[in-house]
Amino acid sequence: MITFTEFSAIFRGTDFTEEELRKFYYSVKKFVILRLAGRRAWPEIFKLEEKCQWPLLRMVDDPALSIYEGAEKVLLERFIHTISEEKKIRERKPLTEKTGYWTLLRSVIDERIALFTQIFDFCKSDMRRCEMVAERYTRIIEKRTKQRKRMWQVGIGTGAATLAGAATLWYISKKDWK
C-alpha cells in the first residue's frame, strides 16, 4: 500500500488541507476492512464515507486535475464514474425511497472500495492483514450481538415475571374485596 507521504505528494499544490488528506488516506484501509467484515458493517461504512471521503471526492471529479497525471486511463474513468454516479444518487435522495437510495449508494461505494485496492496498490499481504482485522471485528460484533440478545431475554423475562406478579397481586386484592 502506498504511504501517506506518497499520497500527499500527489495532492501537492492543491487546496486540500493535510487533515483532509490524512482523514481520507486512513479511511481507505478502514473501508476495505469494514467491507470484508460483511453486511453488518455497512452502517459504519456509510458514516465513514460521509465524514472522511465524500468531502474530498466531490471535489476531484474532473479528470483534467493535476492529481490524475500519469493515472491509468481505464481505472481513472471508472473512479470518476463512481463519483459522478454518487453525486446523481445524492441529488435524487429526496425523490428516492429510503431503501432504494441506500441500495444505490451501497453499490457505488462497493465498486469504489474495489477501485481503492487498485489505486492504493494493496498487495496480498495488505489484503491478508485487512482480512485478519475484519475477522476479529466480525467476532467482536457477533459477541456484542449475542450479549445484547441475552440482556433483552433477561430483561423481557424479568419484565414478564414482574407483570405476572403484579397481576397476581391485583387478582388477590380484588378477591379480598368481595
Which is more confidently placed, 73 or 164?
73
Q: Are residues 67 and 21 in contact, defined by beta-carbon separation less than 8 angstroms? A: no
Q: Quick check: pTM over 0.75?
A: yes
Domain final position from 122, 152, 170 = 122
C-alpha–C-alpha distance, residues 61 and 80, integer Å: 5
C-alpha–C-alpha distance, residues 49 and 33, integer Å: 13
Which is more confidently placed, 156 or 11?
11
Do residues 114 and 48 both lie within one domain?
yes
Do residues 102 and 158 both lie within one domain?
no
Helix, strand counts (H, E) of the chain: 7, 0
Do residues 70 and 108 both lie within one domain?
yes
Mean local confidence (pLDDT), 15-31:
92
Q: What is the pLDDT of residue 102?
A: 93
Per-residue pLDDT band at 178 (split at 50, 70, 90): low
Q: What is the DSSP letter of 29?
A: H
Do residues 106 and 165 both lie within one domain?
no
Q: What is the pLDDT of residue 177?
A: 57
Backbone angles phi, psi at 13, to 5 degrees: 90, 5
Do residues 97 and 176 both lie within one domain?
no
Q: Per-residue pLDDT tens for 67-88?
A: 888 888 999 999 999 999 999 9
Q: Per-residue pLDDT tens for 107-128?
A: 999 999 999 999 898 999 999 9
Ramachandran bin of 69, using left for φ above 0, alpha for ψ from -120 to 50, beta for the remaining angles? beta
Q: In Å, what is the CA distance from 14 to each residue of 20, 139, 165?
A: 12, 41, 70
C-alpha–C-alpha distance, residues 120 and 140, integer Å: 27
Grid cell, residue 40, equals 453488518
Do residues 106 and 152 both lie within one domain?
no
Which is more confidently placed, 62 or 19?
19
Domain span including residue 136: 131-178
Calculate the average pLDDT of the chain: 88
Do residues 19 and 58 both lie within one domain?
yes
Do residues 118 and 135 both lie within one domain?
no
SS3 category, 12: coil
